[in-house]
Amino acid sequence: MKEELTKIYGDKVNVKYVDVDQVGLDSYPIMKQVLQMGYPYPVTLINGQPKFAGGIMVKEIKEIIDETLNKDGN
């Protein structure tokens, strides 16, 4: 996914994979909240906000990125 999004958006997006089992949930309080609510891995956050859980929704992620970039005038 990182390669695909970088190809489309260049440096306008930053894709980061975090294995919270390795780094710990204390480093990511929003993830801790989402998981406590019962949502499954993987969880996709965009601009620090949880958007999807239980799978990687590439088409939907691109739609949100497009909307965000258009809103910001990029």
pLDDT digits (tens, 9 = 90+) for 12-71: 999 999 888 888 888 889 988 999 999 999 999 998 899 999 999 999 999 999 999 998
Question: In whole angstroms, how far apart are CA 73 and each of 4, 20, 47, 69?
Answer: 22, 33, 16, 6
pLDDT at res. 74: 59
The domain in which residue 45 lies consists of 2-71
Q: What is the tally of structural domains in the chain?
A: 1
